[in-house]
Amino acid sequence: MLRPVVIEVGDGVGRVTGRLLRPDGATALYVLAHGAGAGMHHPFLEGIAEALAERGVATLRYQFPYMEARRKTPDPPVRLQRTVRAAVAKGRELEPELPLVAGGKSLGGRMTSSAQAEAPLSAVRGLVFLGFPLHAPKRPSEQRAAHLAAVKIPMLFLQGTRDDLADLGLLTPIVERLGATMHVAEDGDHSFKVRKRSGRTADDVLADLAEAITQWVQGLG
């Protein structure tokens, strides 16, 4: 069942909207933030939410304030992280019996991990990143991963092999040092798009990502 949600962020930010997709017999809830350039209604986020619902994982997608206001420039990190906390709290309020994980696409995932590194997100058992943005496009660097050492809960990185924002030669050893988990989407770019010659479709990729997330979440206990 898909239902609209209002999330009170407070502290001068006001409120943002969200969408809770909860299948019958849900076994977990994934609080899912969008990337920098597209909101919660982006076809990729809608697709991954539907694919997870088919596997018994509920999702709470939500907007950051700048996207809610239809602005192009992301809010300052402190405001984004405050929104992450409010969304996680709303998820716990709506589904108090479900195990909770959080994260998101690109910027949304990084802001979730940054919030967790500052102070643990209440009741969150693990973080799931859909394309962690390790560095600017084609400018390899590890700087954006520095805060991850302060994250003390399990993490799952889902990354495409053609992601210009995450050189796997840099990210793989970081994930290993953190004791985290990585799932690689062959031929996927930062948006998890694959070329025709890969022999895979967009639906194939969504199914692969959703299955990896579901299996990992179930493994958290």
pLDDT digit string (tens) for 86-121?
A: 999 999 999 999 999 999 999 999 999 999 999 999
Examine the pLDDT at 169 and tell me if it is beyond 80: yes
pLDDT, average across residues 72-92: 97
Examine the pLDDT at 184 and tell me if it is beyond 90: yes
Examine the pLDDT at 221 and tell me if it is beyond 90: no
Examine the pLDDT at 124 and tell me if it is beyond 90: yes
pLDDT more than 90, % of the chain: 95
CA-CA distance, 142 to 140, in Å (whole number)?
Answer: 7
Token output for 77: 């990190």
The conformational region for residue 193 under phi > 0 = left, psi -120 to 50 = alpha, else beta, is beta
CA-CA distance, 130 to 165, in Å (whole number)?
Answer: 12
pLDDT more than 70, % of the chain: 100
Query: What's the pTM?
Result: 0.96
Task: Express each pLDDT in 23-62 by its tens digit.
Answer: 999 999 999 999 999 999 999 999 999 999 999 999 999 9
Residues forming a β-bridge with 127: 102, 155
**Sheet of strand 181-185, all strands in order from the earlier edge strand to the far edge:** 2-8, 15-21, 57-62, 28-33, 100-105, 124-130, 155-160, 181-185
Secondary structure of residue 120 in the 3-state scheme? coil
